[in-house]
Amino acid sequence: MIRADRGAAALGLPICSAVMHTMTTTLAIEGTTGDLWALFSQSFDMFTVLLVTGSLYAAAVIVRVVLDVRAGAILPPKSLDRAVSLVEHTRWGELREFAKTDGTFVGTVLRPALAEAHRGREAMEDAAEMAASAETARWFRKIEPLNIVGNLGPLIGLAGTVWGMILAFASLGATGGQAGPAELSEGISKALFHTLLGLLLAIPCLLVFGFYRSLIDRHCTRAIAETARLVGHIPAGDECPEALRPATGPHAATPKNAA
């Protein structure tokens, strides 16, 4: 019995020690959270407002990017398959109508290319290349706000930190250098809190921007290659089919090279 009691006691000591350590850690975390919230409240100024506003704006942009920027939105398989089918079966009139109504990467590139088919192969390819560049830039513009906010966040936080340090040392000078370490460290911690907010704003913004920049680049490159292949199979110049030639008649537009 004595040995059993000693074993139980020996087993209970580590358990009690672990419980006490867990309680101490929990209280320390709660205390740290309370201290951080107190610092946030005490350091609330113009720079804090800018950083919080930037965080809300960045969150909205990230949600929009996650919903809009997808492989199926950049190059929908349905639109690509439809365009490939029309080109393979040489249904040029239907292809022209498809390009007019399709708002995806495929239709956006084919529309100006088909309009220039009667002018020759070079004109058609130039029009397709310009349209592809513009469409790629449009997709990149969707994520550009994240790059701007991600780079401005640390700078605003640094500006807030410098401003807080100026105020802390100004108060130290106003007291004739009599401020204690506690008061001085509190002022410095308030100032550094702006830097923390700036980093917390910048890290997710730049992380999402880098990920979606690679995604857009990869799928737009594939879209450019697919549309270039389609344009390469469209007859141009003298071989341009009648369905792709501009309408002629008294109401037709005057050609660009007309006198």
- Say which residue, 171 or 192, is predicted with more confidence: 192
Are 126 and 149 in the same domain? Answer: yes
Q: Are residues 128 and 232 in the same domain?
A: yes
Whether residue 160 sits in one domain with residue 227: yes
83 and 2 fall within a common domain? no
pLDDT at 6: 47
pLDDT of residue 192: 83
Share of the chain above pLDDT 70, in %: 72
Over range 50-65, report the average pLDDT: 94
Lowest mean pLDDT among 45-49, 177-181, 222-226, 228-232: 177-181
* pTM for this predicted structure: 0.73
The verdict on 21 and 106 lying in the same domain is no
Residues 201 and 147: their CA atoms lie apart, in Å, by 11
Q: How confident is the model at residue 189 (pLDDT cuts 50, 70, 90)?
A: confident
Reply yes or no on whether the pLDDT at 148 is more than 90. yes
Do 94 and 78 lie in one domain? The reply is yes
Same domain, 45 and 29: no
Same domain, 26 and 78: no
**Distance (Å) of CA 28 to CA 38, 53, 186:** 15, 30, 18
Q: How far apart are CA 59 and CA 64, in angstroms?
A: 9
Instruction: State residue 176's pLDDT score.
Output: 66
CA distance 191 to 18: 37
pLDDT at residue number 160: 86
Separation between Cα atoms, residue 114 and residue 91, nearest integer Å: 13
Of residues 208, 202, 174, 183, the one with CA closest to residue 42: 183
Calculate the alpha carbon distances from 164 to 19, 157, 185, 192, 209 in Å: 40, 10, 12, 8, 30
Based on the fold, state whether residues 156 and 30 are members of the same structural domain: no
On whether the CB atoms of residues 111 and 99 are closer than 8 A, the answer is yes
Residue 74 banded pLDDT, cuts 50, 70, 90: very high
11 or 211, greater pLDDT: 211
pLDDT of amino acid 177 = 59
Average pLDDT over residues 73-98: 93
Least confident piece of the model among 93-102, 187-196, 249-258? 249-258
The count of domains in the chain is 2
Average pLDDT value for the chain: 80
pLDDT digits (tens, 9 = 90+) for 120-141: 999 999 999 999 999 999 999 9
- What percentage of the chain has pLDDT greater than the value 90? 53
* Together in a domain, 29 and 47: no
**Domain ranges, residue 27:** 1-34
Q: Is the model more confident about 33 or about 49? A: 49
Please tell me whether residues 56 and 145 are part of one structural domain.
yes
Is 80 exceeded by the pLDDT of residue 224? Answer: yes
Shared domain check, 214 and 90: yes
